[in-house]
Chains A and B, each alone.
Chain A
Amino acid sequence: MIPESHFLILGAALFSIGVFGVFTRRNAIGILMSIELILNAANINLITFSKFSASPDGLGQIFALFVIAIAAASAVVGLCLVISIYRNSKTILVNKINLMKW
């Protein structure tokens, strides 16, 4: 079967790609998409450890369920903020948004 480390490497690669996206994207929606990638990488790790741990009681899968719920909530609130910011300042490029700057 597929060794455990290959799942972990897949998760690590996905995490790095998400970090790259957070660094480079100027669009707030793009940053939120990259954060979703990072959360999915965490989920892959959780489920991998749940499957390969010595006493699998499903804790990893339950934790991944909770992460999915939190990710959904954060995406909803984040996208709502993006729409609200766009309504006020007509841009969603994060380097153009300076409402909080003195």
Chain B
Amino acid sequence: MSGLIQLLNSHGIPQDFVIKAAFYFIAALTLLFALFVVLSRHIFRAAVYLAVVLTGIAAVYLFLDAEFLAVVQVLIYVGAIVVLFIFTVMLTADIDSGTFVGTLRRMSVAAVASLAIFFILFKVINMVTAWKTAVPAGASISLSQLGKSLMTGYALPFEVISLISLAALVGALVIGKAEKR
């Protein structure tokens, strides 16, 4: 991100405006494709739209100075989980059977419920007036800092996560194993 800012400064473009425009564009795109994910009639297309949403969220992480998280997001979500979704869609039949979205009545009830949830969250977010807009200088966390705290202060949860990953691996093998006939 800092390289981009230097480039903008050298050309006399107001960097604040460009960064804001880029953020709102990416946020709108992410929300639009998230709607496509839940509304698409074809589950395969929904998986591809999900990849776009996850990439957009990785870009949002860049605006939050979390470069490592953005890389992890692209690697794990877009690289692994979306591929897994696509494989599962292909292994299970009737991709195009058009019956994947619920009835109109259920859709409207769900729309009202989720809009109510969003409205409540929006109100609560706007109720707090003390949100900070300025970031203290040098507040972003470097990668080495992150790695050090993962290996020192948060070593136990790190090990627990590796145990959970192992358990998920073994569980997936056991559940997905073909039965003997």
Contacts and interface: CB of A to CB of B under 8 A. Distances in A.
Contacts of A30: 38, 43, 46, 100
Interface residues of B, number: 84
Interface residues of A, number: 69
Interface string B101-137: 1100011011101110110011001101001111100
B110 A23 contact: yes
Interface in A16-62: 16-21, 23-27, 29-30, 32-34, 36-37, 40, 43-44, 47-48, 50-52, 56-58, 61-62
Contact of B81 (A1, A44, A72, A92): A72
Contact of A34 (B31, B37, B93): B37
Chain B contact residues, majority secondary structure: helix
Contacts of A43: 57, 69
A29 B69 contact: no
- A interface, over-half SS: helix
Contact of A20 (B38, B65, B150): B38
Contacts of B176: 80, 83-84
Given A44-B60, A83-B176, A2 B19 contact: yes
Most chain B beta-carbon neighbours within 10 Å: one of A33, A90, A92: A33
Given A27-B43, A93-B99, 10 more contacts: A3-B131, A12-B122, A23-B102, A24-B107, A37-B50, A51-B139, A58-B146, A64-B66, A68-B77, A75-B84
Contacts of A83: 88, 91-92, 176
